[in-house]
Structures are given as C-alpha cells and as structure tokens.
Amino acid sequence: MNSYESMIVISANLAETDVDQENLKIINFIKENGGELIETDKWPKRSLAYEISKQKEGYYFINYFNFAAEKILELDRLYRLNENIIRHNIIKK
C-alpha cells in the first residue's frame, strides 16, 4: 500500500451536514476497498481563487490515507461521477 493525499472541493450549495456526508462517502469507499484513513482536515467554506462551474465558494477536505495503487483509478472515477465535487486531486506521498 502507498500513502496518498487527496484534496476535494465540494460545492457550497450543499448544507454543511450534507458536505460532511459527501466526504464520509469517500472515507467509506477507501475503507471498504482495503485502505486505511490516517487523517482528515476540513476547512470551512472558502472563496475559490477562480470560478469553477459557476461557483465562487466551496468546502475543502484533505484526506491522508494508505491505499492500494490499483484502486486509485476507482477512487478517481468516484470523484468524477460525484456532481457535488467540483475539483479534486490525488497525490502519492
């Protein structure tokens, strides 16, 4: 397993409890696929540096986790299919 860091920006159109649920879906996906969550940093609603999908604000989450390299494409696909995630990245540490 490799160590990864992933930042996601979730739409500010959601209620704060719904935002937490969106990140929980990602954490559950990681755990269900044999990964191990190390830490999650949640940032409050912030202004984006530039407009993304006609949105000027978003909630930021940074997840640090250990995960199998062959499962990263599935995680990336999960991010892309979720309409509430307006930007994401996955970095191998």
- Contact (Cβ atoms closer than 8 angstroms) between residue 38 and residue 64: yes
**Apex CA 28: angle with CA 74 and CA 17, to 5°?**
115
- Residue 7 is predicted with a pLDDT of 96
Provide the whole-model pTM.
Answer: 0.89
pLDDT of the residue at 4: 97
CA distance 84 to 87: 9
Domains of the chain: 2-92 (3.30.70.60)
Contact criterion met (CB below 8 Å) for 23 and 42: yes
Report the pLDDT value the prediction gives residue 16, as an integer from 0 to 100: 84
Distance CA 27, CA 56 (A): 26
Divide the 93 residues of the chain into consecutive groups of 10 and give the mean pLDDT of each group.
Answer: 95 91 95 95 92 92 96 96 95 94
The counts of H helices and E strands in the chain are 2, 4
